[in-house]
Amino acid sequence: MNLRSPAFAILFAVSLIAAAGNMALQSVLPAIGREFRLSDTLVASAFAISALMWTFASPFWARLSDRIGRKKVILIGLSGFVVSMGGFGLAATSGLERWLGVGVAFVLMAMARTVYGVFGSAAPIASQAYVADRTSTEQRTQAMSLLASAQGLGTVIGPALAPFFVLPLVGLAGPMYAFALLGLVVLFVVWRRLPSGEVLRKPSASGHRDDAGKGLWKDPRVRDYLLYGLLTTGAQAINISVLGFHVIDELAGTGIAVREAQPFIGIAMLAGAAATLMAQWGLIPLLKLQPRELMRWGAALALLGNLMSVVAPGYYGAVIGYAVVSMGIGFARPGFTAGSSLSVGPLEQGAVAGLMMSLAGLSFLAPPVIGVALYELFEPAPFIANVVLLTAATALCFGSARLRAGPPDLPGRDETPSPETPPASQPGPEGNR
C-alpha cells in the first residue's frame, strides 16, 4: 500500500475522527456533569463503562474482520461512533434543557458510551489489519506508526475545536453533534471510496491459532515492562479524568462560571497533547533516546508534573503540571512498548502487541473513577496518589534488573526511532490501536 494513496488517507481519517471526537467529549464532560449537579465520580464512571466494553469487544472485532473483511468491520465501527456521539449529544441536551430528568438523561448518556465501547474498537482494529494486509515487512513499521499518529493528532484537534461547537442552540452538547456529523461524512467516504478487495489470509497448517506468546504476560522478559506501563498509564488516566474538574474549580475562584470555563479546559488539554507530540516528534529523534532512558525520563517527568499540580495552585499551575505529565508519558509509552517488543522473538510480536493494547483499556477502568473520587474528598489527593504510582515506576526502572539493562542488544538491530517515525497515539480506551 502506498502511504500517499487515497485508501491510506481514508484510514488515517477514520482514526483521526474517532480520537478527536472522544477527546472533545472528554473535554466537555466535566462541565456537563457540573450543570447536571451530579457527583464528579459518577460522571467519570461513564468513561469507565466504555473502557470495560472496549476491552471485552476488541478480540471479537479482530476475529470478525478475518471472516467478513476489513471494510465491513470499519463501517460497523464508524456506525457505532456516529450513533454513540449523536445519542450522547441528544441525551445531554435532554438533561441540560430539562426535557428529561437529570438521572434519566445521565443513564442515556452512559448507554451511548456503552454503544461506543462495544462498537468503537471495530474501526481502528480493522484499519490496522487493512494496512497490515497490504504492506510489506519493510513498510509496515512506518505505516503502522503513521496510522497511530492520526490518534495523536486527533487528541490535539478535538479539544481545540470543541469550544467552537459550544453554540447557543446546542450548548455543551454541540461538540457531540459536530463530530457525529463528521463521522457520518467519513462513513460515507469509506463506503464509497475505500477499495474492498480482500487479501487472502491463509490459516495455519493445524487449523488453529498459533500458540506462540501464550501466557506472555507473566514471562520475565516482559513482565516488568507491563507493570511499568500499568503504573504510568494508570497515573495518566487519573490526570486526564481529573483535569476538567480541576480547571473548573480553579477558575471558579476567579468568578468564571462552568460554561465559560470550557475554552480553558480545551486549552489545557491542547497543551498536554502538544507536549506529547513535541516529545515524540521532536525530542526522541533529536536526543536518540533508547527504551531504557525513555522509561526513566518519562516516569520522572510525569512524577514532576504531578508534584507541580500539588504545590502550584491556580489555572496556570494546572495547565503546566498537566503538560509536564503529558510530556513524560510521551517519553514513557514508546519506551515500554518498544522495550517489550524488542525483548521477544518474531513469533511473539502479535502477543506482546495485544498485551500493550490491553493496557489502554485497563488504565481507563478503575483509575479514573478512583482518581475523581479522591479529588472530591481532597483536591490534591489524586495527584498525591499519582506521585506514589510514579515513584514506584521510577524505582522499578532502577530496581528491576531487566529494565536496568534494557532490551537485549541483538546484532544488526537499531532501537532508535528514525526522524520520520510519527508518534504513538495518546492513551485511552480508544487509543493505542
Q: What is the mean pLDDT of residues 304-316?
A: 92
pTM (2 decimals)? 0.77
What gap in Å lies between CA 197 and CA 356, rounded to an integer? 30
What gap in Å lies between CA 123 and CA 85, rounded to an integer? 15
pLDDT at residue 6 is higher than 70: yes
Task: Look at residue 356 in the predicted model and tell me its pLDDT.
Answer: 67
What gap in Å lies between CA 343 and CA 408, rounded to an integer? 6
CB-CB contact of 47 with 429 (8 Å): yes
Task: Look at residue 318 in the predicted model and tell me its pLDDT.
Answer: 93
388 vs 27: which has the higher pLDDT? 388
Q: What is the mean pLDDT of residues 48-63?
A: 79
* Residue 325's pLDDT band (cuts 50, 70, 90): very high
- Residue 241 burial (C-beta neighbours within 10 Å; 0-12, 13-18, 19+): buried
Q: What is the mean pLDDT of residues 302-322?
A: 93
- Residue 326 burial (C-beta neighbours within 10 Å; 0-12, 13-18, 19+): buried
Q: What is the mean pLDDT of residues 107-135?
A: 84
Q: Which residue has the cell 482494529?
A: 125
Q: What is the mean pLDDT of residues 102-129?
A: 88
Task: Look at residue 67 in the predicted model and tell me its pLDDT.
Answer: 82
Task: Look at residue 203 in the predicted model and tell me its pLDDT.
Answer: 47
Each residue's pLDDT tens digit, 186-236? 999 999 999 875 554 544 444 444 454 456 667 788 889 989 999 999 999
DSSP class of residue 216 equals G
**Secondary structure (H, E, C), 98-118:** CCCCHHHHHHHHHHHHHHHHH
* Residue 49's pLDDT band (cuts 50, 70, 90): confident
Q: What is the mean pLDDT of residues 123-128?
A: 80
Residues 6+ apart with CB under 8 A from 136: none
* Residue 427's pLDDT band (cuts 50, 70, 90): very low
Q: What is the mean pLDDT of residues 235-248?
A: 92
* Residue 351's pLDDT band (cuts 50, 70, 90): low
* Residue 410's pLDDT band (cuts 50, 70, 90): very low
Tally the C-alpha atoms within 13 A of residue 317's C-alpha that lie toward its C-beta.
15
pLDDT at residue 81 is higher than 80: yes
* Residue 181's pLDDT band (cuts 50, 70, 90): very high
What percentage of the chain exceeds 70 in pLDDT? Answer: 81
What gap in Å lies between CA 37 and CA 34, rounded to an integer? 5
Q: What does the radius of gyration of the chain's CA atoms come to, in whole angstroms?
A: 21
Given phi > 0 = left and psi -120 to 50 = alpha, else beta, which region is 234?
alpha
CB-CB contact of 357 with 427 (8 Å): no
* Residue 424's pLDDT band (cuts 50, 70, 90): very low
pLDDT at residue 432 is higher than 50: no
Q: What is the mean pLDDT of residues 21-27?
A: 86
Task: Look at residue 335 in the predicted model and tell me its pLDDT.
Answer: 84
* Residue 182's pLDDT band (cuts 50, 70, 90): very high
Task: Look at residue 357 in the predicted model and tell me its pLDDT.
Answer: 60
Task: Look at residue 276 in the predicted model and tell me its pLDDT.
Answer: 85
Neighbours of 197 (CB within 10 A): 8
Given phi > 0 = left and psi -120 to 50 = alpha, else beta, which region is 255?
left
* Residue 91's pLDDT band (cuts 50, 70, 90): very high
Task: Look at residue 423 in the predicted model and tell me its pLDDT.
Answer: 46
Average pLDDT value over all residues in the chain: 82
Residue type, 185: V
Q: What is the mean pLDDT of residues 21-48?
A: 86
Q: What is the mean pLDDT of residues 374-380?
A: 94
Task: Look at residue 105 in the predicted model and tell me its pLDDT.
Answer: 94
Q: What is the mean pLDDT of residues 335-361?
A: 69
